[in-house]
């Protein structure tokens, strides 16, 4: 218990320094938590948009209803397929008319419907990479189909954007945590040199090196945990009074059920990350301190 007491004494001895360190950790973790929340929201949006990845199988005009529903049943039986819907020629024309302003009046003047009927095949989430969509589209080919279309360019751009977003999240998170470790390490180093006379006395009376170092490690861990708790509190306030007010403005883009607060596991991980950041920062500081000090 003596190292714990010495660590608490060190925190009480330099309260402003301790507050600055905990605030620094909290600031970094707030940024990290807020960015994590944005990534979770964007992931939900992208998953929702990803459900639109589908293959349109345009039917020949000569195919009768019996053949259409036979082919539909065959496609629905495939493991890669989540759902198959039939779009008649009339429904296709109606959709096309609604998609472009003023097109309905133009289509009304046509003598016949030029659009083909189709089967729209929606794939499972695990089969939506560009390579998998291309392979599944080839497997969907049937003599009854005039053409298959799966918006290859859109699928490739969608998955490229998702990959870049997740990579940027990892890089930014790593940079923020590294910055927090650096700042905590510098703060603990200041505390070490401020108490260097006391540490020399501890060494002279027979205290081991790790006995002298342990209070600083505990200080770093405690400061990191305090920063994590403060960050979780600030994030709750930010979500409650800022993000929720923006929900109405963002409904059009992301949907009404998004912008949730971080789940309990994420909050616990955030607090633990604060403790780990503080511990790592203190460890790097005590290891870099000269042997004449520690």
Question: What would the pLDDT profile of 258-283 be if each residue is shown by its tens digit?
Answer: 556 677 887 888 888 888 888 888 88
**What pLDDT is attached to residue 86?**
93
281 shares a domain with 163: yes
* Cα(266)–Cα(48) distance, integer angstroms: 22
> For the chain, what is the mean pLDDT?
76
Residues 41 and 172 in one domain: yes
Per-residue pLDDT at 252: 43
Indicate if 93 and 217 belong to the same structural domain: no
How many CB atoms neighbour CB 188 within 10 A?
A: 26
What's the pTM value of the predicted model, to 2 decimals? 0.56
Domain limit, last residue, from 125, 150, 175: 150
Residues 186, 172: one domain?
A: yes
> Is residue 282 domain-shared with residue 164, that is, in the same domain?
yes
Query: Closest by alpha carbon to 35, among 163, 183, 174?
Result: 174
Tell me the per-residue pLDDT of 208-257, one tens digit each, with 9 for 90 and over: 766 777 787 888 888 888 888 998 888 888 777 766 555 555 554 445 44
The residue range of the domain holding 123 is 54-150
Q: What is the pLDDT of residue 215?
A: 80
Q: Are 152 and 134 in contact (CB under 8 A)?
A: yes
Residue where a domain stops, chosen among 116, 150, 184: 150
Residue 293 belongs to a domain: no
Q: What is the spatial distance between Cα 46 and Cα 50, in angstroms, rounded to a whole number?
A: 6
Domain assignment present for residue 65? The answer is yes
Low-confidence ranges of the chain (pLDDT < 70): 1-11, 13-14, 40-53, 99-110, 128, 151-156, 158-159, 195, 197-199, 202-203, 206-207, 209-210, 242-261, 289-294
Residue 17, phi then psi, degrees to nearest 5? -65, -40
Same structural domain, 7 and 146: no
* Residue ranges with strand state E in 54-142: 54-59, 81-87, 118-123
């Amino acid at each position: 218990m003596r190292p714990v007491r010495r660590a608490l004494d060190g925190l009480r001895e330099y309260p402003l320094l301790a507050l600055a360190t905990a605030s620094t950790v909290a600031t970094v973790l707030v940024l990290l938590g807020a960015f994590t929340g944005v990534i979770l929201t964007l992931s939900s949006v992208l998953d929702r948009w990803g459900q639109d990845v589908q293959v349109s199988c345009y039917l020949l005009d000569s195919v009768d209803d019996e053949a259409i529903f036979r082919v539909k049943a065959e496609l629905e039986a495939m493991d890669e397929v989540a759902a198959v819907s039939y779009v008649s020629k009339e429904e296709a024309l109606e959709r096309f008319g609604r998609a472009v302003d003023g097109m309905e009046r133009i289509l009304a003047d046509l003598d016949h419907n030029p659009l083909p009927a189709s089967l729209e095949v929606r794939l499972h989430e695990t089969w939506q990479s560009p390579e998998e969509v291309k392979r599944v589209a080839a497997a969907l080919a049937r003599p009854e189909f005039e053409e298959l279309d799966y918006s290859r360019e859109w699928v490739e751009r969608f998955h490229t954007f998702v990959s870049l977003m997740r990579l940027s999240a990892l890089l930014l998170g790593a940079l923020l945590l590294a910055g927090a470790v650096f700042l905590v390490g510098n703060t603990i180093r200041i505390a070490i040199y401020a108490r260097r006379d006391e540490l020399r006395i501890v060494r002279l009376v027979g205290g081991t090196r790790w006995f002298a170092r342990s209070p600083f490690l505990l200080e770093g861990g405690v400061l990191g945990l305090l920063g994590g708790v403060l960050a979780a509190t600030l994030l709750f306030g930010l979500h409650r009074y800022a993000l929720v007010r923006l929900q109405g403005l963002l409904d059009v883009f992301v949907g009404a059920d998004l912008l949730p607060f971080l789940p309990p596991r994420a909050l616990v991980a955030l607090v633990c990350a604060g403790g780990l950041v503080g511990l790592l920062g203190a460890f790097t500081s005590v290891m870099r301190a000269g042997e004449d000090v520690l």
